[in-house]
């Protein structure tokens, strides 16, 4: 009895899908989001940006008239869950592209998406995803179908270290400055660990033993005491914002005060407000203008924001803008692919790899000009370093430097 029921429902489901597909030509897109789980602090604004941008595209003509049929799945930052979802999609919606999230799951899916030829736009900017051919000796596995918008974690950390070296000189520091990497033992904070340490050594830093602190926000006084004893001058925080807030508060308590430098997901408006004085002076690479900025493309972003907030009053933080950019690069590639013979995975990949200093139309000043080639998936290597100043209730971003990290061959895929 149970069997017949199951078979019946299965048949119904199959017919259901068949009729849906024939009704209208759509482009299936998977959207893996982190709305719950340890990185949800930044996963929610980014995921909202991605979802709103896709809805906005659908409401404004789609991809040359074809709508994006996207399915959002919250995978709670669990890599196995992400893989299971991916495998489900292969037999259900059959996506031609995926908007993903974390490093662990994206790196685990590299070989799958390469085999299935599905372009994967991740919110993980891991340097391991930048070598499409695998020719670089440091590459563990080629990642031909992986793309992301922004400088890789490794390049970001290199840019920060470069800035730190100049900062050390400018402030008249004597002797070798000490650099330390901090982060959870997780693929995301680990991604730039070795690459960044190698460059710091090259620049004349003394690189100390890394410190591990949890991705989930919690007390980190033990780690801060270690940090204080180590005498580090520059500390890189590899975790996301929520975890960094608790780290900075703990370090304020024990009096560990190196120059903190955050990853691109590690610091935003919310964290400044939450950390208050203990977050004063943190250096951060900004990947997008802030919500109140008057860059020309912000008008489009504000219109996109109204998809989920009709009042238009919600303040969207930095991560939202990057989510929008990730979708718009995909949109432009899909439109080009459509003209070149159809929106398929390989065509989208080809279109992405032809972009040169490309900025999606309507998002000028929001998305950085990015270039992808068949041999180099480092979209951009430009890092804008800001520091945040907290002045009792309000805060400001102060531009420090723009570092263009060279596209060295031996840094590809690392």
Q: Which residues bind another protein (CB under 8 A)?
A: 3, 6-7, 9-11, 13-14, 35-36, 74, 76, 78-80, 83-84, 87-88, 90-92, 104, 107-108, 111-112, 185-187, 190
Instruction: Give the largest CA-CA distance in the chain.
Output: 81
Give the span between the Cα atoms of 108 and 124, in whole angstroms. 12
Report the residue number, 154 or 387, with the smaller CB distance to another protein.
154
Nearest to 57 by CA among 327, 238, 237: 327
Report, in Å, the least distance between residue 354 CB and another protein: 31
Report in angstroms how near the CB of residue 327 gets to another protein at its nearest. 19
CB of 34 to another protein, least distance (A): 10
Beta strands 26-33; 67-74: pairing state: parallel
Torsion of CA 95, 82, 181, 222, to 10 degrees: 150
Q: Which is nearer to another protein, 55 or 354 (CB)?
A: 55
Nearer to another protein, 88 or 396 (CB): 88
> Which conformational region is residue 309 in: left (phi greater than 0), alpha (psi within -120 to 50 degrees), or beta?
beta
C-alpha neighbours within 13 Å on the C-beta side of residue 13? 9
Q: How far is the CB of 215 from another protein (least distance, A)?
A: 10
Q: How far is the CB of 25 from another protein (least distance, A)?
A: 23
Copy the structure tokens of residue 25.
Answer: 């030509």
Which residue, among 217, 213, 153, 223, has the nearest Cα to 188 in the 3D structure?
153
Q: Which is nearer to another protein, 18 or 23 (CB)?
A: 18
Contact 390, 279 (CB under 8 A): yes
Any idea which residue has 């017919």 for tokens?
A: 15
Min CB(283)–another protein separation in Å: 26
CB nearer to another protein: give 111 or 402: 111
Nearer to another protein, 111 or 201 (CB): 111
- Give the residue with the Cβ less far from another protein, 76 or 276: 76
Bridge-based pairing of strands 178-182 and 120-121 is: unpaired
The answer for residues whose C-beta is within 8 angstroms of residue 38's C-beta and 6 or more apart is 77, 215, 216, 240, 242, 243
Query: At closest approach, how far in Å is the CB of 94 from another protein?
Result: 11
């Amino acid at each position: 009895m149970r069997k017949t029921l199951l078979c019946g429902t299965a048949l119904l489901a199959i017919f259901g899908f068949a009729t849906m597909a024939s009704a209208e030509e759509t482009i299936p897109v998977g959207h893996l989001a982190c709305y719950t789980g340890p990185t949800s602090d930044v996963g929610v604004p980014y995921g909202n940006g991605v979802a709103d941008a896709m809805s906005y595209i659908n409401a404004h003509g789609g991809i040359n008239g074809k709508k994006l049929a996207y399915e959002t799945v919250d995978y709670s930052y669990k890599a196995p869950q992400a893989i299971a979802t991916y495998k489900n999609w292969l037999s259900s919606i059959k996506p031609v592209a995926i908007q993903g999230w974390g490093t662990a799951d994206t790196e685990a899916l590299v070989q799958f998406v390469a085999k299935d030829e599905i372009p994967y736009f991740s919110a993980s900017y891991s340097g391991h995803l930048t070598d499409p051919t695998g020719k670089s000796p440091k590459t563990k596995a080629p990642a031909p179908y992986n793309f992301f918008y922004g400088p890789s974690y490794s390049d970001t950390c290199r840019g920060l270290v470069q800035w730190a070296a100049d900062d050390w000189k400018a402030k008249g520091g004597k002797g070798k400055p000490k650099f330390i990497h901090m982060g959870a033992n997780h693929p995301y904070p680990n991604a730039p660990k070795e690459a960044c340490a190698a460059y710091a050594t090259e620049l004349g830093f003394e690189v100390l033993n890394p410190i591990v602190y949890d991705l989930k926000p919690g007390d980190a006084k033990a780690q801060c005491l270690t940090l204080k004893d180590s005498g580090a001058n520059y500390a890189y925080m590899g975790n996301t914002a929520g975890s960094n807030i608790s780290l900075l508060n703990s370090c304020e308590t024990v009096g560990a005060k190196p120059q903190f430098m955050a990853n691109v997901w590690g610091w935003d408006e919310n964290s400044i407000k939450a950390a208050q004085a203990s977050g004063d002076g943190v250096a951060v690479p900004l990947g997008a203008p802030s919500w109140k900025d008057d860059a020309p493309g912000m008008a489009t972003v504000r219109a996109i924001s109204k998809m989920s907030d009709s009042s238009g009053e919600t303040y969207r933080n930095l991560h939202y803008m990057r989510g929008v950019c990730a979708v718009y690069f995909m949109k432009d590639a899909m439109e080009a692919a459509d003209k070149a013979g159809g929106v398929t995975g390989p065509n989208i990949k080809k279109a992405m790899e032809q972009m040169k200093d490309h900025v999606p139309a309507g998002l000028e000043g929001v998305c950085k000009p990015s270039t992808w080639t068949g041999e180099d998936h480092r979209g951009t290597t430009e890092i804008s370093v800001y520091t945040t100043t907290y002045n009792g209730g309000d805060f400001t971003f102060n531009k420090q430097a723009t570092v263009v990290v060279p596209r060295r061959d031996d840094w590809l895929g690392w």
